[in-house]
Amino acid sequence: MTADMKSQKIAFIGGGNMAGAIISGLVAKGFEKKQITVAEPWEVNRTKMSEFGVNVTTDNIEAATGSSIIILAVKPQVAKSVCNELGQKAFTSDDALPLLVSIAAGITMSSLKQWSTTSSGKSPPVVRVMPNTPALLGEGASGVYAGSDVSKAQKEQVTALLQSVSRSLEWVDREELLDAVTAVSGSGPAYFFAMVEHMIASGVKLGLSEEQATKLASQTCLGAGKMLVEASDSPSQLRKNVTSPNGTTQAALESFEASDFASIVDKAVKAASDRAEQLGSELGKQ
Ligand X SMILES: O=C(O)[C@@H]1CCC=N1
Binding site for ligand X (CB under 6 A): 105, 182, 186-187
Annotated binding site for NADP(+): 13-18, 73-76
Rounded distance, CA 151 to CA 128, Å? 14
Q: What is the DSSP letter of 98?
A: P
Q: Residues forming the annotated binding site for NADPH?
A: 60
Closer to ligand NDP by Cβ: residue 29 or 75: 75
Q: Which is nearer to ligand X, 90 or 104 (CB)?
A: 104
Position among 123, 133, 157, 273 found at the interface with ligand NDP (CB under 6 A): 133
By CB under 6 A, is residue 40 in contact with ligand NDP?
Answer: yes
- Which residue, 125 or 143, is less far from ligand X as judged by CB? 143
Tell me the C-alpha distance between 120 and 205, whole Å: 65
3-class state of residue 168 by DSSP:
strand
Residue number closest to ligand X, CB atom? 186
Residue from 36, 39, 150, 200 binding ligand NDP (CB under 6 A): 39
Nearest-approach distance from CB 103 to ligand X, in angstroms:
8
Q: Judged by CB under 6 A, does residue 60 bind ligand NDP? A: yes
Extended strands (E) in the chain: 10-13, 36-39, 55-57, 69-72, 99-102, 126-130, 140-146, 166-171
Q: Hey, is 169 helix, strand or coil?
A: strand
- Separation of alpha carbons 275 and 271, rounded Å: 6
Half-sphere exposure of 142 (CA within 13 A, CB side): 32
Q: Which residues bind ligand NDP (CB under 6 A)?
A: 13-19, 39-42, 45, 60, 73-76, 78, 82, 103-105, 130-133, 186
